[in-house]
């Protein structure tokens, strides 16, 4: 029975090819738009997550405060409020996994005939844990490097390529501010950061080395930035309070004084970025849904026309024993078939569009199976919903009136 009805529906659709195609077009555009939006939205979300993950998970960034001299504020880190000792104290807090001071300097790197300007980070050995950054070639930084201020450098892959032409350069020597260094390791690739910087264009040296040879600091033992990793996401909230309290105590701040440091929770940054991406996806999805609804109305309209055109046929079917349910099923099946075919074409169109977006704008898109199943079932649902009224109208026809309809 089902197959006979399906065949009947295919015939009815094929009998009015142009009309059926135009009706489907509404669904094609609607489903295509939804699939495209979901793919781009999901792609954005994944990109953000990847970038934030690249910064390290459950990470706090603590920046030194700013100075205010005769009205001109000099920016965070310009006041010597954070010290290496603060880092030491923070590492003893409950829930802290790793802490590293970070001293950034833009310097000219020289190796053989090549030179290259990049950011040189002075850190301790825990920095690699905080940033979840592996050393791909060579050895990791250890405590001895930091204690002895060794002239060792770990290069990002982009920097290594700029200086040496390849990344297989462990053991080679180079110069920073005319001080000879040995390349001890090459870092694993991290890709782009949230603001589009190439994170692989960097060089890492021990903090002590940085302070001694590369960037003298007017305040001894002071640092501009600390990176801290919590043991788990659950302790982030408590830890944030503990860090603030500890630093305020150590800096002898009275309750009415503001913090003399900035405490940033990267998970919160990620959460807000994700929320933005999600809101964007929802908004675009809502707009796309409108076209789906319009497509559905198109189906309903054409099905009503079709029911009127086939009034006599309905009369004949009723006369030879079709029950109302049989008529209802037949017309709903036809509506679903139209919307499903349209949905399927839309899926292909939307998927193709997403790949085009990826190719042209170089943003990543993700066509998830969920979005495919979703759009497929939504188009079936639209066929059912918008096909119901015309089908119901067909099924409740009076057999005599239908039979003698002119």
Partner 1 sequence: MTSVIETKDLKKTYRTGAGDLEVLHGVNFTLQVGEFVAIMGPSGSGKSTFMNILGCLDAPTAGSYRLLGEAVKDLSPDQLAYHRNRYIGFVFQGFNLLPRADLLENVALPLLYAKVPGPQRKKKAMELLDRVGLAPWAKHRPNQVSGGQQQRAAIARSLAVNPSLILADEPTGNLDSQTSDEIMKLFIELNDQGLSLIVVTHEPDVAACARRLAKFHDGLLVEDSPVSDRRRP
Which residue in the set 194, 326, 358, 372 belongs to the binding site for partner 1 (CB under 8 A)?
A: 326
Residue 360 within binding range of partner 1, rule CB under 8 A: no
Residue 319 within binding range of partner 1, rule CB under 8 A: yes
Q: Spell out, one character per residue from 14 to 33, where the chain touches partner 1: x when CB under 8 A holds, - when not.
A: -x------------------
Residue 226 within binding range of partner 1, rule CB under 8 A: no
* Shortest Å, Cβ 9 to partner 1: 11
Which residue in the set 12, 103, 163, 333 belongs to the binding site for partner 1 (CB under 8 A)?
A: 12
Which residue in the set 6, 89, 214, 403 belongs to the binding site for partner 1 (CB under 8 A)?
A: 403
* Shortest Å, Cβ 14 to partner 1: 9
Residue 399 within binding range of partner 1, rule CB under 8 A: yes
Write phi, then psi, for 162 (nearest 5 degrees). -65, -40
Residue 305 within binding range of partner 1, rule CB under 8 A: no
Map tokens 């903090």 to a residue. 207
- Within positions 122 to 151, which residues make up the interface with partner 1, using CB under 8 A? none
* Shortest Å, Cβ 385 to partner 1: 24
Nearer Cβ to partner 1, position 136 or 326? 326
Q: How far apart are CA 349 and CA 148, in angstroms?
A: 62
Contact range with partner 1 by CB under 8 A, out of 120-128, 179-187, 242-250, 314-322: 314-322
Nearer Cβ to partner 1, position 161 or 324? 324
Nearer Cβ to partner 1, position 208 or 397? 397
Contact range with partner 1 by CB under 8 A, out of 118-126, 160-168, 237-245, 315-323: 315-323
Residue 309 within binding range of partner 1, rule CB under 8 A: no
Contacts of 228 (CB under 8 A, 6+ apart): 59, 60, 61, 62, 90, 96, 98, 99, 100, 130, 243
* Shortest Å, Cβ 403 to partner 1: 7
Q: Is 395 exposed, middle or buried, given 0-12, 13-18 or 19+ CB atoms closer than 10 A? A: buried
Q: How far apart are CA 10 and CA 4, in angstroms?
A: 10
Which residue in the set 8, 240, 242, 260 belongs to the binding site for partner 1 (CB under 8 A)?
A: 8
* Shortest Å, Cβ 396 to partner 1: 8
Which residue in the set 18, 72, 325, 360 belongs to the binding site for partner 1 (CB under 8 A)?
A: 325
Q: How far apart are CA 155 and CA 135, in angstroms?
A: 9
**C-alpha of 46 from chain center:** 3
Which residue in the set 97, 190, 317, 382 belongs to the binding site for partner 1 (CB under 8 A)?
A: 317
Residue 332 within binding range of partner 1, rule CB under 8 A: no
Residue 3 within binding range of partner 1, rule CB under 8 A: yes
Which residue in the set 141, 270, 322, 354 belongs to the binding site for partner 1 (CB under 8 A)?
A: 322
Which residue in the set 11, 73, 197, 220 belongs to the binding site for partner 1 (CB under 8 A)?
A: 11
Nearer Cβ to partner 1, position 9 or 169? 9
Size of the site for partner 1 (CB under 8 A): 24
Nearer Cβ to partner 1, position 51 or 330? 330
* Shortest Å, Cβ 20 to partner 1: 14
Which residue in the set 308, 323, 361, 373 belongs to the binding site for partner 1 (CB under 8 A)?
A: 323
Residue 308 within binding range of partner 1, rule CB under 8 A: no
Contacts of 78 (CB under 8 A, 6+ apart): 64, 66, 67
Nearer Cβ to partner 1, position 176 or 303? 303
The contact set with partner 1 (CB under 8 A) reads 1, 3-4, 8, 11-12, 15, 312-313, 315-326, 399-400, 403
């Amino acid at each position: 029975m089902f197959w006979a009805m399906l065949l009947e529906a295919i015939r009815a659709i094929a009998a009015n090819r142009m009309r059926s195609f135009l009706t489907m077009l509404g669904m094609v555009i609607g489903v295509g738009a939804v699939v495209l939006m979901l793919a781009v939205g999901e792609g954005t979300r994944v990109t953000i997550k990847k970038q934030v993950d690249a910064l390290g998970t459950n990470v706090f960034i603590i920046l030194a405060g700013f100075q205010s001299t005769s009205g001109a504020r000099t920016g965070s880190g310009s006041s010597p409020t954070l010290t290496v000792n603060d880092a030491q104290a923070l590492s003893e807090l409950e829930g802290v996994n790793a802490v590293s001071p970070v001293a950034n300097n833009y310097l000219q790197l020289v190796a053989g005939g090549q030179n290259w300007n990049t950011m040189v980070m002075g850190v301790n050995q825990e920095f690699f844990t905080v940033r979840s950054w592996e050393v791909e070639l060579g050895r990791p930084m250890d405590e001895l490097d930091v204690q002895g201020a060794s002239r060792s450098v770990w290069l990002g892959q982009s920097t290594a390529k700029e200086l040496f032409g390849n990344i297989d350069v462990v053991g080679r020597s180079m110069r920073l501010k005319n001080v000879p260094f040995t390349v001890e390791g090459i870092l694993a690739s991290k890709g782009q950061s949230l603001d589009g910087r190439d994170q692989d264009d960097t060089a890492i040296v021990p903090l002590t080395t940085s302070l001694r040879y590369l960037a003298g600091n007017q305040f001894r033992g002071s640092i501009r930035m600390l990176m801290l990793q919590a043991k788990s996401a659950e302790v982030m909230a408590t830890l944030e309070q503990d860090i603030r309290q500890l630093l305020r105590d150590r800096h002898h701040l009275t309750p009415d004084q503001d913090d003399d440091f900035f405490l940033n929770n990267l998970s919160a940054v990620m959460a807000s970025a994700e929320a933005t991406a999600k809101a964007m996806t929802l908004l675009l999805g809502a707009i796309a849904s409108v076209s789906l609804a319009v497509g559905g109305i198109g189906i309903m309209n054409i099905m009503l026309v079709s029911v009127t055109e086939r009034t006599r046929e309905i009369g004949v079917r009723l006369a030879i024993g079709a029950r109302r349910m049989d008529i209802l099923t037949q017309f709903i099946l036809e509506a679903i078939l139209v919307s499903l075919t349209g949905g399927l074409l839309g899926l292909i169109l939307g998927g193709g569009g997403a790949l085009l977006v990826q190719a042209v704008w170089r943003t990543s898109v993700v066509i998830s199976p969920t979005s495919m199943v979703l759009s497929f079932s939504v188009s079936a649902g639209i066929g059912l919903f918008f096909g119901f009224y015309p089908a119901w109208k067909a099924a409740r026809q009076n057999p005599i009136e239908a039979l003698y309809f002119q």
